[in-house]
């Protein structure tokens, strides 16, 4: 379980770091600003999760692997941006991968700390969306979670699958793969086909 959590967290840290760095490059901040955004996007969700479940100090601050995983994508993105930007919607794709990995790791870690199922689903969502929200607020944009594509719903689906399967006794690794894949699939489909949830009717 610990190894699985580490793999999920480190990979999530890395891909969210790329999304933060891309946001930085687009806003023309300097090298250290790119590293700050890379670090913030990569670690904000995990730090929030760890503070809330009482895992102090957060692994993301106290272990060097996480720090490397958060800063390396900043350096790479900064110097190889022409490669990154050839992807279609690169920021959204790395953001979707980070969302999926952290939604799964957040739920699993909350279960490991004996939180109840509903709390574990919520922490999965919070861990998944925390990095992107922090990144967007820092660069002064409306957080991606509030724009009109399906976002938190994807994290909800992934987290719920993980938590439901956990209480059915299914193996954690299989749940992590399936939950992450489900979240990523929903999010990418939503981006590609512009899936949307209902928008409120306001007659003002």
Chosen residue from 4, 7, 67, 76 binding a second copy by CB under 8 A: 67
Chosen residue from 5, 53, 91, 163 binding a second copy by CB under 8 A: 53
Contact 183, 157 (CB under 8 A): yes
Chosen residue from 5, 42, 44, 123 binding a second copy by CB under 8 A: 123
Q: Binding segment for a second copy among 24-32, 89-97, 158-166, 175-183 (CB under 8 A)? A: 24-32
CA distance 58 to 50: 5
Q: Binding segment for a second copy among 45-53, 86-94, 96-104, 181-189 (CB under 8 A)? A: 45-53
> Cis omega before residue 57 (within 30°)?
yes
User: Does residue number 115 form part of the binding site for a second copy (CB under 8 A)?
Assistant: yes
All residues at 6 or more sequence positions from 104 whose CB lies less than 8 Å from its CB, including other chains: 8, 124, 158, 159, 162, 175, 176, 179, 180, 183
Beta carbon of residue 167, minimum distance to a second copy (angstroms, whole number): 15
User: Does residue number 169 form part of the binding site for a second copy (CB under 8 A)?
Assistant: no
Q: Binding segment for a second copy among 88-96, 100-108, 137-145, 165-173 (CB under 8 A)? A: 137-145
Phi-psi map region of 58: left, alpha, beta (phi>0 left; psi -120 to 50 alpha): beta
Angle between helices 31-53 and 90-112 (to 10 degrees): 30
All residues at 6 or more sequence positions from 27 whose CB lies less than 8 Å from its CB, including other chains: 139
CA distance 189 to 194: 8
Beta carbon of residue 53, minimum distance to a second copy (angstroms, whole number): 6
Q: Give how many residues touch a second copy by CB under 8 A.
A: 62
Note the residues at the interface with a second copy (CB under 8 A). 24-37, 47, 51-54, 56-58, 61-62, 64, 67, 78, 81-82, 85, 113, 115-116, 118-119, 122-123, 129, 133, 137-140, 142-143, 145-148, 150-153, 196-204
């Amino acid at each position: 379980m610990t190894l699985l959590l580490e793999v999920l967290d480190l990979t999530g840290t890395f891909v969210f770091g790329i999304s933060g760095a891309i946001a930085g490059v687009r806003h023309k901040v300097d090298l250290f600003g790119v590293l700050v955004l890379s670090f913030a996007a990569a670690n904000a969700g995990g730090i929030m999760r760890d503070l809330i479940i009482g895992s102090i100090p957060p692994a993301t601050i106290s272990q060097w692997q996480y720090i490397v995983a958060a800063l390396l994508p900043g350096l790479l993105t900064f110097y190889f941006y022409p490669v990154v930007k050839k992807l279609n919607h690169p920021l959204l794709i790395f953001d979707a991968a980070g969302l999926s990995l952290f939604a799964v790791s957040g739920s699993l870690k909350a279960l490991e700390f004996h939180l109840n199922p509903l709390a574990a689903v919520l922490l999965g969502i919070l861990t998944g969306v925390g990095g992107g929200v922090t990144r967007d607020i820092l660069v002064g944009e409306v957080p991606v979670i509030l724009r009109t594509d399906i976002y938190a719903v994807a994290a909800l689906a992934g987290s719920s699958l993980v938590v439901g399967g956990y209480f059915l006794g299914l193996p954690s690794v299989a749940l992590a793969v399936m939950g992450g894949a489900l979240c990523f699939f929903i999010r990418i489909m939503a981006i590609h086909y512009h899936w949307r949830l209902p928008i409120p009717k306001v007659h003002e």
